[in-house]
Amino acid sequence: MRILLVEDDERLAAGLRSVLEDAGYVVDHTADGETAWFQGGTEPYSAAILDLGLPTLDGLTVLKRWRAEGRTFPVLILTARGNWNERVEGIDAGADDYLPKPFQMEELLARLRAILRRAAGQATPVLSVGQVTLDPRQMRVSIEGVPVHLSPQEYRLVSYLMTHAGRVVSQQELTEQLYAQDFERESNAIEVLIGRVRRKLGGDFIQTRRGFGYIVEQPNS
């Protein structure tokens, strides 16, 4: 899942980026509002983490513009502690949740998981398709309760497909979600990755819809 991180405090941004990447997310970072507005309007993000106090264009204006332009990805805003009217304005402008600074990274990750879950229409944190379960809190995938070791990139693939279970996901969409903007993408990288995951999770867990993309079946209810 690809996340847009908008934060002009370089130290905080570097810390956030590494925590998010360790948690399996692909991160694009920008430090100013104009660039954030542009990127959020053109790149397919699963969610954004948006600081409100930004150079060139403030976070609230960025958020209002995204929403006015029909961008629906969930947004977690970072606000100054005690500034309750900023939080109210942010939520009214279309933010899905907020976190006052300073915060614990664990809380940020939990809130991010929650907004991603709601955006995908899931009620529970653990995903389950056939015999395969995925717990994003522990980044763990298991078959019938037995953990399977996946590389970070394999985990990202499984997580994205299971979050969108029941829908065909194109190769281009997977490439966009699994690699950061500046990454050199090998043309057959996704096929190779799919092959590796099939060897670990069973040949029919991910199905190919030739000419359209890949699908994992509906989640167990």
Q: Which of residues 121-140 bind Ca ion (CB under 5 A)?
A: none
Q: Which one, 26 or 78, has the nearer CB to Ca ion?
A: 78
Kind of pairing between the strands at 97-101 and 75-80 = parallel
Site string (38-67) toward Ca ion, x via CB under 5 A: -------------x-x--------------
Residue among 8, 21, 58, 173 that touches Ca ion (CB under 5 A): 8
Number of residues near Ca ion (by CB under 5 A):
3
Residues 52 and 79 sit within 8 Å (Cβ to Cβ)? yes
Q: Which one, 7 or 154, has the nearer CB to Ca ion?
A: 7
Binding span for Ca ion by CB under 5 A among 8-16, 89-97, 161-169, 183-191: 8-16
* Closest distance of CB 9 from Ca ion, Å: 6
Rounded to 5°, the CA angle 181-66-117 comes to: 75
Q: Which one, 51 or 86, has the nearer CB to Ca ion?
A: 51
Q: Which of 98, 107, 101, 82 is nearest to 49 (CA)?
A: 98
* Closest distance of CB 77 from Ca ion, Å: 11
Buried b (16+ CB within 10 A) or exposed e, 42-78: eeebbbbbbbbbbeebebbbbbbbbeeeebebbbbbb
Q: Which of 95, 100, 133 is nearest to 115 (CA)?
A: 95
Q: Does 86 bind Ca ion (CB under 5 A)?
A: no
* Closest distance of CB 105 from Ca ion, Å: 17
Region of 206 (left: φ > 0; alpha: ψ -120 to 50; beta: rest) is: beta
Q: Which one, 101 or 200, has the nearer CB to Ca ion?
A: 101
Residue whose beta carbon is closest to Ca ion: 53
Q: Does 24 bind Ca ion (CB under 5 A)?
A: no
CA distance 156 to 3: 12
DSSP 169: B
Q: Which one, 53 or 100, has the nearer CB to Ca ion?
A: 53
Query: Which residues of this protein are in contact with Ca ion, per CB under 5 A?
Result: 8, 51, 53
